[in-house]
Amino acid sequence: MSNSAGSTAWGSTGGFLMASIGFAVGLGNIWRFPYVTGENGGSAFVVVYLGCAFLIGVPILMAEIMLGRRGGFSPPASINAVAGAAGLSRHWSWVGVLNVTTAFLIQMAYAVVAGWVLYYFFLALTGQMPGADSLTAKATFDNLLLDVPTSIFWTVLALVTAGAIICAGVQQGIERAVKILMPTLFALLLVLFVFNLFAGGVPETLAYLFLPDFSKISADTFLAALSQAFFSIGVAMGGMMMFGAYLPKSISVAKCALIIVAADTGVALLAGLVIFPMVFNNGMAPDAGTGLIFLTLPLAFHQMWGGDVVAVLFFLLLSVAAVTSMVGLAEPITGTVMQWLKISRVKATFLATGTLLPFSIMSVLTYNHWAEVALFGNTIGALVDYIPNQVFLPLGGLLIALLVAWFLPKHISADELAIENSRYFNIWYQLMRFVVVPAIFVILVTTI
């Protein structure tokens, strides 16, 4: 597992960046960012989000990649190695266990949503995209949720696709796949944006996203922006730490973190420039919530010129984003299984995917047969979403930030990050201590 082992190291900086950006750029950017922006007043939210992404997202991403590279193993073993070398308690390794557990719980639910996306891509490809009216669009989505065999089939396909990429290894699997998938994703976004320039709705979108009305900013805006930035970048799920374990010492962690967050944010904004013109041009509401992709956009595709082709491109784009994120979630799970059981990557992938499978099927059932089943006053579906996303993610992020900023000797971070200008290192260190830790603590307490 050490990052010195050729086949388990990135073949190039570009490979690491593509994989990390692919992990960060998921349905959170293309599906969640536009509707959260819509629900929080558009441009004012975007300004606050950008501040959160760079002042909080970049520092904690640097910390997580740094821990992975310093340890050179799976998240639990990496943190164990770093803490042990610094004379700290080995119990810190439980933070890595929490990160991997979070990845597992998110993956079991994410696979279901990825399955929906693959199903809609299939509908678009075969000319069956619903969109004649809002009732048809809603009926199609409701029927998918109730059709257990169909949902399970597409969920399994999503898991198997990610598993196949993981199975092939770092260079032959992950790196080779993302070098094709990520440029495809960027190209599709640009094609759809250019389409919108001719189709209309772009001037209204530019005003909506980039002319801030600061009167709309409230405490809720900051909380929503902080949460979106934190979850979108993909920290505290073990993926960035695992990818960091394969990163050669010669590559700058700080520069990589900046590029990853800039690309992640750029894709989120570009997604807004792709989705909102369709919404505005067809007289729809930008704050349509989670239904924006599956209920609102099929109507827009049906009404626009060339809508059949645009629908295929759009759901292909979403499929790529879903799969690359699933790879980032699956890798720390597989890496931990490899290490704990001392088995090959192929066996570990089969075991990890096989274990995820029944849990993902359970997640499918929360939308139909188990929809009314309650635990602790909440439906199982609500708990499956709430516990990993609203509790484990910020808790894991807070513990990583506390370890690096308040417990790990400063010289270890300085040595691993190797930032030439000590002023920049000190800015990072102070941000970690006095901005990142309090901000994540506020998210955690407010959410709970």
Task: Identify which of 77, 60, 59 has the alpha carbon closest to the alpha carbon of residue 68.
Answer: 77
Mean pLDDT value of segment 233-261: 93
pLDDT digits (tens, 9 = 90+) for 98-139: 999 999 999 999 999 999 999 999 999 999 988 777 788 889
Q: How far apart are CA 175 and CA 118, in angstroms?
A: 22
Q: Residue 6 — pLDDT band, cuts 50, 70, 90?
A: very low
The contacts of residue 262 (CB under 8 Å, 6+ apart) are none
Cα 128 from Cα 121, distance rounded (Å): 10
DSSP 3-state of 368: coil
With 0.85 as the threshold, say if the pTM is over it: yes
pLDDT band at 1 (very low <50, low <70, confident <90, very high): very low
More confident residue, 400 or 285: 400
289 band by pLDDT with thresholds 50, 70 and 90: low
Give the Cα-Cα-Cα angle 431, 435, 437 (nearest 5 degrees): 105
State residue 445 phi and psi, 5-degree precision.
-65, -45
Query: CA-to-CA distance for 438 and 378, rounded, in angstroms?
Result: 29
Q: Would you state the pLDDT for residue 2?
A: 41
The pLDDT assigned to 221 comes to: 85
Segment 184-201, tens digit of pLDDT: 988 988 988 888 888 888
The candidate with the shortest Cα–Cα distance to 57, out of 20, 111, 11, is 20
Question: Domains of the chain (ranges plus CATH)?
Answer: 6-447 (1.10.4160)
**pLDDT of 57 over the 50 cut:** yes
Give the per-residue pLDDT at 64: 96
Query: For the segment 59-90, what is each residue's pLDDT rounded down to a tens digit?
Result: 999 999 999 999 999 999 999 999 999 999 99
Angle between helices 176-199 and 13-24 (to 10 degrees): 60
- 3-state secondary structure labels for all residues of 395-434: HHHHHHHHHHHHHCCHHHHHHHHCCCCHHHHHHHHHHHHH
Token digits of residue 368: 């139909």
Kindly tell me if the per-residue pLDDT of 4 is higher than 70.
Answer: no
pLDDT score of 29 more than 80? yes
Kindly report the CA angle at 240 between 239 and 246, in degrees rounded to 5?
A: 100
Q: What is the pLDDT of residues 137-175, one digit of tens each?
A: 889 999 999 999 999 999 999 999 999 999 998 888 888
Q: How far apart are CA 113 and CA 329, in angstroms?
A: 14
Q: What is the mean pLDDT of the chain?
A: 90
Q: Answer whether residue 7 shows pLDDT above 60.
A: no
The fraction of the chain above a pLDDT of 70, given in percent, is 97
DSSP 335-360: HHHHHHHT--HHHHHHHHHHHHHHHH
Q: Which residue has the higher pLDDT, 8 or 373?
A: 373
Closest CA to 235 of 59, 2, 422: 59
**Residue 5: pLDDT above 70?**
no
What percentage of the chain reaches a pLDDT higher than 90?
58
pLDDT at 53 over 70: yes
CA–CA distances in Å: residue 241 to residues 20, 65, 173, 271 = 10, 5, 18, 27
At residue 231, does pLDDT exceed 80?
no
* Tokens matching residue 61: 């991403």
